[in-house]
Structure 1
Amino acid sequence: MDFIRNLSDTDLIASYGVVIDELKRRQIIRSKNVVDDLGEYIAIKHHCDTKGLPKLQAAPPSTKNIDAISVDGDRYSIKATTSSTTSVFYGLNPPGSNEPEQQKFEYVILVLFDTNVRLKQINELTWEQFFKYKRWHSRMSAWSLSVSKEMLENTRVVYKYADKL
């Protein structure tokens, strides 16, 4: 990757569009939401390539509430983040609602990247665990997950990067 350091500022900026176009051509990302798209791609690929994990396939574009479906029919919402908060989950009852909550998915797959978008960890939460850890995002009027040490310790780790010393 040293070749990047030799690019002019103009060429470096132009390379961003080229990389995005190639990621789309390879169907690694589908939109301009690069972090979430990369998270979806990595989560689905990891599940398909790892013995003992359910095989997943991407949900059709614009499918509400879910990003992937297992071969057994389980629904997965996939969230990726480079920070301590995920993007939001729409379509759920607001705080204080007396309406019964309809289950939108069976699992959340949480893909954690470092600030340079290098994969750190993948965790899986059940619907019940999602409800325990969800937090109201008042500005977005929807729920999100705050990535806490407690949540990570109490949910299923399906991948964790291990530094080789």
Structure 2
Amino acid sequence: MDLKLLKTSDLVSLYSSVIKELKDRSVIRTNNVIGDLGEYLAIDYYNNTAGLPTLAVAPVGTENIDAISRKGDRYSIKSTSGNVTGVFYGLEPKGSTEPDKQKFEYVIICRFNTDYELEEILEMDWKVFLKHKRWHSRMNAWNIPLTKEVCNDCKVMFQK
């Protein structure tokens, strides 16, 4: 199908139909389309790549995690088309003297390009997450800046 031949109104209608179909297939489960796409693509990649753990989707609303491995490892999956992840809630605030209780074993980061094509999947463990987390004062939570240093500390699971 050559999209350039379609009228703009037909493209908008097609987009709506694609979103509806992705919801019907449980690829998109919330209003966070890029987040849901990242979760789906990461889990699908892990489940279809030899040597990687088999992951199951965590129920919508499960705090801190998006997937669970058969071994019981918990995964938080973040998607971005920029150089910083979304935020991680439920951790001790900046300046707290209390140690963070471990919320997950791994973070999976799906990086998309500006056309929302998956460019890479990165993975970090809890220790690497703690080393690199940065406080987001407006959100009152933590995120991960995707600097060269952070990316070097991650395992590259997939790269386009």
Task: Please indicate the TM-score interval, normalised by the length of the shorter structure.
Answer: over 0.9
Q: Deviations over 1:78-99 (max 9, x none)?
A: 0010001111101111111012
TM-score of the two chains, using structure 2 as the length reference = 0.96
**Residues 1-165 of structure 1 aligned to structure 2 (within 5 Å):** 1-2=1-2, 4-161=3-160
Q: Gapped runs of 5+ residues in structure 1?
A: none
Q: Deviations over 1:118-141 (max 9, x none)?
A: 111111100010011111111111
Q: Distance in 2 between matches of 1:9 and 1:115?
A: 20
Q: Distance in 2 between matches of 1:138 and 1:15?
A: 39
Number of equivalent positions: 160
Q: Distance in 2 between matches of 1:17 and 1:85?
A: 28
Q: Deviations over 1:64-123 (max 9, x none)?
A: 000000000000000010001111101111111012211000000011110111111111
Q: Percent identity?
A: 52
Q: Distance in 2 between matches of 1:59 and 1:10?
A: 36
Residue range with higher mean Cα deviation, 25-34 or 69-78: 25-34
Q: Distance in 1 between matches of 2:143 and 2:48?
A: 28
Amino acid at match of 1:15: L
The alpha carbon displacement at 1:14 in A equals: 2.2
Amino acid at match of 1:62: G
Q: Deviations over 1:30-87 (max 9, x none)?
A: 1121111000001101111011111100001100000000000000000010001111
**What is the root-mean-square deviation in Å for CA atoms of aligned residues?**
1.0
Q: Distance in 2 between matches of 1:64 and 1:83?
A: 24
The alpha carbon displacement at 1:15 in A equals: 2.1
